[in-house]
Amino acid sequence: MKRTLVFLLTACLALGLAGCGKPAGQTGPGSASPSASSGAGAPAATEAPKPSPTPAPGWVVEPRSDLEIVQSLAEFLPVEHLTTAERQQLALFTQNGGTGVIDLAGNIVVPAEKNVHWCPVCGITNEGETEIYNAQGEVVGSGGHGISESGIFYDEASGTLYLEDWMGYLQPWSQEYTYSPDPIIAKVVSITALTGLEDPGSSRYHMGDEEHPVELSEPSAVMLFLPDGTPLTDTRYEAVEAASESVFPVKQGGLWGFVSAADGKEMVPCQYRQVRPFKNGLAAVQTDTGWGYVSLAGTQKTSMTFLDAQTATGGKAWVKTSEGWGVAELSAWPAG
């Protein structure tokens, strides 16, 4: 009798221990699959994960309509927390009223609810500049530097180039400039001294110091100047964007083209509705038929049929079709 009781207690204890350490319904390596169980109430079999669909030919990431690509980070200058190679893989996108960061593989690096923007000092930062993000979306610091870009003005009357310093005062460029590898962009204005002001500080601009307020006219044009302050050429443009790969996007007669930063000579005629900077020898341009890509020689490298297109990196780029934004292999859309 005692032996029988001991045997029963031992069997119960073994069964009890067999159920420890695993929640009901959980299986581990070597365990029987729940689908092998019989009887009412048995848990359903877990489906095997489905492989990601292979993109259609010509696409790295097929078009999606749930977001809008705003701008490739390849267009911006380097910052401390992002290398050039990292920046060229990333783009800003908007979704549900916010702005995030996505890469050329379609992975969201920073979600749109963070509502980030690009700062020329911080790089990727949130609305209050309390967080700075690296290429993996990790917070690596805080911003809040309060630095803004300085204005550069060319006074037609005196023929003098001025820089707005960090105090907001206009200083002769000859006293303030530092070396730049590319020519500089200046707004052409007329500068007039203001007299009789009870409060000189109420003026937006001052010549040299607080005691010499001046008024600037609306810019009449934009010109390019060498780093020493002399004009690159006498050509006046409606607009000029920052140089990339030693090429300036310029606007004349309502249309955009490109000029060389070396001598100001035209490389691609002003014939496009909109353009984006050159990267890796390609620039996105908009024609009457749509967006596409051209070379530094102005040769069409793709069809001009996209609804929109961002700066290319390594032969691929975010482009927009009627189905949304996707990452295209540009060689799959040859010029026709």
Given this model, what pLDDT does residue 176 score? 63
202-211 residue pLDDT tens: 778 888 888 8
- Whether the CB-CB separation of 80 and 123 falls below 8 Å is answered with yes
Question: Which pTM does this prediction carry?
Answer: 0.79
Given this model, what pLDDT does residue 329 score? 97
Distance CA 239, CA 233 (A): 15
- Whether the CB-CB separation of 204 and 194 falls below 8 Å is answered with no
Given this model, what pLDDT does residue 279 score? 93
Given this model, what pLDDT does residue 42 score? 45
280-302 residue pLDDT tens: 999 999 999 999 999 999 999 99
Q: Which residues pair with 72 in a beta bridge?
A: 91
Query: Please, how many CA atoms are within 13 Å of residue 191, restricted to the half-sphere of its CB?
Result: 27
Distance CA 161, CA 191 (A): 11
Report, as ranges of residue numbers, the positions in the chain whose pLDDT lies below 50: 1-45, 147
